[in-house]
A and B are shown apart, each in its own frame.
Chain A
Amino acid sequence: MRKRLIAVANALAVFGALLLLWQLVIWIFQVQPYMLPSPWAVAKAVSKRFPSLMTSLAITGEEALGGLIASVIVGVLVALLFAQSGWVRKMLYPYTILLQTVPIIAIAPMILSWVHAGGPAVTLIAFIISLAPVIANTTQGLISVDENLVNLFLMHNASPAQVVLKLRLPHAVPSLFVGMRIASGIAVIGALTGELFAGSSQVGQGGLGYSILYASSQNQTDYTFALVLATVVLGFSFLFVVMFLEWQFLHRWHESALVPENQ
């Protein structure tokens, strides 16, 4: 407990030092507020426009969450298909790599022509770019089961469904969480990117991406910083929730979730 307090205190001290450094840079080099606002100005912008900041945060959060949940559901289903046989994997795996390498910025306008601008289009973009890590990691988990465990199931005349449900899926859960951790970060970035193109432009309805675009075009540097801060908070919250779920599911049996005693 005491160790944890010290760790928190250390993290806070670093944060404080960074703020101080930021402020010092502004004082020493006489940086103009439109170039770099002071921490204090950003804090003021946050408090002054808190309701619209929260609205933007909620919109982007919802889109990113929708994309993440969809990519977990679809990703696990695709991984189950991939785990069925080597040739299915060889035939379809290149397309997952395609998913990962396709420049989302280039296809975003195309997606807009399929789906109307706004939440659904952004969610779709978040879904597309967070799908690949879920598929890749879950597939790996499903197929890397010890051969003798499969033999054990065969010796008990287990059905294919039993092998999947009682052996492959539980074995893949730690890998699924690795994929989800990566996907959670990408989903937020995806939602943000999506909004740059497909965000709703109604006043007071834009998510963080749209608002960043708008605020920076208006030279509201302090509010832009506040929005970036909100994005960071959103990304952290996603990661935190995924890691919490991971701990909930795995801490009793899996090494990755062992409580580090000597750190």
Chain B
Amino acid sequence: MSAASAVPQIEFDAVVKSYGTGRLVLGGIDLTIQKGEFVSFIGPSGCGKSTVLKLISGLTPASGGSIRIDGMTPKDARESISFIFQDATLLPWRTVRENVGLGLELEHAAAEIRKKTTAALLDLVGLDDVAAAYPRELSGGMKMRASIARALATSPRLLLMDEPFAALDEMSRDRLNEELLRLRAEQKWTAVFVTHSVAEAVFLSTRIIVLKPNPGRIHAIVPVDLPFPRTAELHESPEFEKLVMQVSHSLREALKR
């Protein structure tokens, strides 16, 4: 079934998740994410942010309720999903080029397509100079670029990101945030993003979901109506600051419970 724009891309219906001996991680999440949205999950540690991504990707099954992606189960929808992890998770024995081509290779794409797509993406994230280098020769920011390029190489319709820039310094982080939005404008994927940083969430998102812990539930949903394209200057605008304050306040409330 093709995903017409009217069809919601992700539907959470009373989703519950517990691990092992019944420790409840997520206690009933109802949420619909529309196609083209950039949704960020933010919340104190232990609120199940990363679990949300694992559920959407089908890497872990829900303990109750249902999750549909484009009307399919998460596992069946995997073909259209890419996951960017907290670490760049590059294969150290492969060059940058070979790493970026990994997804296509695993999905048995023709060599010709692989070569063309890989080259285009390396160019897009500005890594064409270091295509033949090995990951250990790259800076943290460059590794993350390679990781993003690899995720985009399989033309996903949904991009899941688990604190991808948490380990980077603030300058690289801001640059990559801007680039991420530029790539999204070009490629129009839907994004679900997990972060600790309020400013990052406001800068990137169309909607921010604030979670509260024990067990993880939705505390508040904050729409971000700042216009695109967004550039680094946005950080200085009063609207931006107002939203950061609003989300920060909501986070404090979530902790107080």
Q: Is B117 an interface residue (CB 8 A)?
A: no
Q: Is B16 an interface residue (CB 8 A)?
A: no
Per-position contact with B for A141-180: 1 when CB-CB < 8 Å, else 0? 0000010110111111110001000110011010000000
- B81 and A155 within 8 A (CB): yes
> Per a CB cutoff under 8 Å, which of B79, B85, B105, B134 touches A253?
B134
Q: Is B82 an interface residue (CB 8 A)?
A: yes
- B91 and A170 within 8 A (CB): yes
- B78 and A157 within 8 A (CB): yes
With CB as the reference atom, state the residue of chain B lying closest to A254: B92
Q: Is B214 an interface residue (CB 8 A)?
A: no
Q: Is B154 an interface residue (CB 8 A)?
A: yes
With CB as the reference atom, state the residue of chain B lying closest to A167: B91
Q: Is B87 an interface residue (CB 8 A)?
A: yes
User: Could you tell me which residues of chain A, from 91 to 122, have a CB within 8 Å of some CB in chain B?
Assistant: none
Q: Is B93 an interface residue (CB 8 A)?
A: yes
- Give the interface SS of chain A, mostly helix, strand, loop or mixed: helix
Q: A157 to B92, alpha carbons, bound, how many Å?
A: 21
Which of chain A's residues have a CB closer than 8 A to the CB of B103? 156
Contacts A157-B79, A253-B92, A253-B134; A148 near B106 (Cβ below 8 A): no
Q: A149 to B99, alpha carbons, bound, how many Å?
A: 12
- A152 and B85 within 8 A (CB): yes
Which of chain A's residues have a CB closer than 8 A to the CB of B93? 170-171, 173, 253-254
Q: Is B40 an interface residue (CB 8 A)?
A: no
User: Could you tell me which residues of chain B, from 117 to 157, have a CB within 8 Å of some CB in chain A?
Assistant: 134-136, 154
Q: Is B83 an interface residue (CB 8 A)?
A: yes
Per-position contact with A for B90-108: 1 when CB-CB < 8 Å, else 0? 0111100000001101110
> Per a CB cutoff under 8 Å, which of B59, B94, B107, B134 touches A156?
B107
- B106 and A157 within 8 A (CB): yes
Interface size class of A (residues with CB under 8 A): 20 to 34
How far apart are A167's CB and chain B's nearest CB, in angstroms? 7
Q: Is A255 an interface residue (CB 8 A)?
A: yes
Q: A260 to B103, alpha carbons, bound, how many Å?
A: 34
How far apart are B87's CB and chain A's nearest CB, in angstroms? 7
- A166 and B106 within 8 A (CB): yes
Contacts A148-B87, A253-B134; A155 near B92 (Cβ below 8 A): no
Which of chain B's residues have a CB closer than 8 A to the CB of A254? 92-93
With CB as the reference atom, state the residue of chain B lying closest to A148: B85
Which of chain B's residues have a CB closer than 8 A to the CB of A90? none
Q: Is A3 an interface residue (CB 8 A)?
A: no
Contacts A149-B89, A162-B106, A166-B106; A155 near B136 (Cβ below 8 A): no
Leading 5 A-B pairs by shortest Cβ distance: A156-B106, A148-B85, A253-B134, A158-B106, A253-B93
- Could you list some 23 contacts between A and B, CB below 8 A? A146-B87, A146-B89, A148-B85, A148-B87, A149-B91, A151-B85, A152-B83, A153-B106, A155-B82, A155-B83, A156-B78, A156-B102, A156-B107, A156-B154, A157-B107, A158-B106, A166-B106, A167-B91, A170-B91, A170-B93, A253-B92, A253-B93, A253-B94
Q: A157-B106, A166-B105 are in contact. List 8 more A-B contacts (CB 8 A).
A: A148-B89, A152-B102, A155-B57, A155-B78, A157-B79, A252-B134, A254-B93, A255-B136
Residues of A within 8 A of B (CB): 146, 148-149, 151-158, 162, 166-167, 170-171, 173, 252-255
